[in-house]
Amino acid sequence: MTLSLNQIEKNVDWLLANGSTPVRYLTHKHILGKSGSSKAMRSLWYEVEDSPCVREIFGKQEEDGSWHAGGSWANNPSYTLKGGIDPYRPKYVTTVWILPFLGEMGYTAADKRILKACRYTVSHGLFLNPLFSKPGNEISRSTIGFFLCPVGQYMMALGAVNFVDDVKVEKGYEVLLCMQGHDGGWVDPGHSKQMGWTRSCLFSTYQATMALYWSRNPAYEEALIRGAKFMLWHLSTKKDCDLRQFYFHGHTMVRELIVFSELGIGMQSRAVKTILKWLMTMYDADEGCFRYTGKLISKYSRKGDGISSTVAKYRFYHLIEDDWLTYHMTRIATNMEKHKKAE
């Protein structure tokens, strides 16, 4: 169950008339296929730079290029690390959690502020490990002696803003390729041993797969597809009631559907059909837009929903707002139409 061509066209009209500036820019770029170098798109980009969400994010950036404060995307952290703040911790407010939002809006390391954030990231936290800091170190399963889970988040953040040519970043991708499991996913060796897992972990796999997706590197396409297929398999193990959520057990449903629809995999599977059918209940066909119908983010609880309001606030940012949800769903439908024509 998805959108017809007429509904896609109506959605685009709604987005261009009602969307925030970043959403209008992305609609032109990813749905209408407009070149970012055109005069009209450059003019629209200047408006993106002056949009409230962009000004808020950059207004929180520190002098060294980092972030460690909340905003519309997250609450201020309730704790500070004994060893100080790094690009990954505290979660949701620090640099590698913020860069993906900026990358999604169209920012790259060509922007001096983004470049500064990237240089900070490859100089702190994960990248202080000797595996990255000493030239000539070879990547193998036996040499990776650090916690694997954050690697995907670091690489997703840097890939999202096209900071992919740095030697440390290239090694980061080597780590991901080296640690990909036989089932296409990723799992931290410590977790696997401790919990007796014989398969990969969805949390690690989501981040690693999105890192490969954002890189746009054809050399990673096979690994990307294998990662996406593991995520699709993991969804297939869930009950329908679990699938009808924006975020569940590491899955960010809408963003995964963008990847699946772009790759042309799994769109006819039970899990994806269930998610799409649920999302279509939020569609206002008369207006040509989607409207979130869930509970207030402040009402989410770990006991009742599996995620706290803090997690929901971050995970739902630029996802459930009317314009963002309409944009994401229209992009998914557009991708599906492209694959239909190619068949």
Convert the pLDDT of each residue in 7-18 to its tens digit: 999 999 999 999
Confidence bin at 189 (pLDDT 50/70/90): confident
Q: Classify residue 237 by burial, with Cβ atoms within 10 Å: 0-12, 13-18, 19+.
A: exposed
Largest CA distance in the chain: 60
Confidence bin at 145 (pLDDT 50/70/90): low
Token pair recorded at residue 169: 């970043």
Identify which of 32, 70, 46 has the alpha carbon closest to the alpha carbon of residue 309. 70
Token pair recorded at residue 248: 């569940």
Token pair recorded at residue 211: 């890192």
Mean pLDDT for the stretch of residues 117-133: 92
Calpha distance 214→144 (Å, rounded): 23
pLDDT for 252 equals 97
pLDDT for 131 equals 83
pLDDT for 96 equals 98
173-174-176 Cα angle (round to 5): 65
pLDDT for 135 equals 65
Q: What percent of the chain has pLDDT over 90?
A: 85
pTM: 0.95
The DSSP secondary structure of 226-253, one letter per residue, reads HHHHHHHHHHHTS-HHHHSSSEETTEEH
Half-sphere exposure of 200 (CA within 13 A, CB side): 29
Q: What percent of the chain has pLDDT over 70?
A: 95
pLDDT for 146 equals 61
Average pLDDT score over the chain = 93
- pLDDT 10s digits, 57-113: 999 999 999 999 999 999 998 776 666 789 999 999 999 999 999 999 999 999 999
State which of 129-138, 139-148, 267-276 shows the largest mean pLDDT.
267-276
Going from N- to C-terminal start, the domains of the chain cover 1-50+238-343, 59-236
Whether pLDDT at 188 is above 90: no
Quick count: other Cβ atoms within 10 Å of Cβ 124?
Answer: 18
Least confident among 9-13, 186-190, 261-265: 186-190
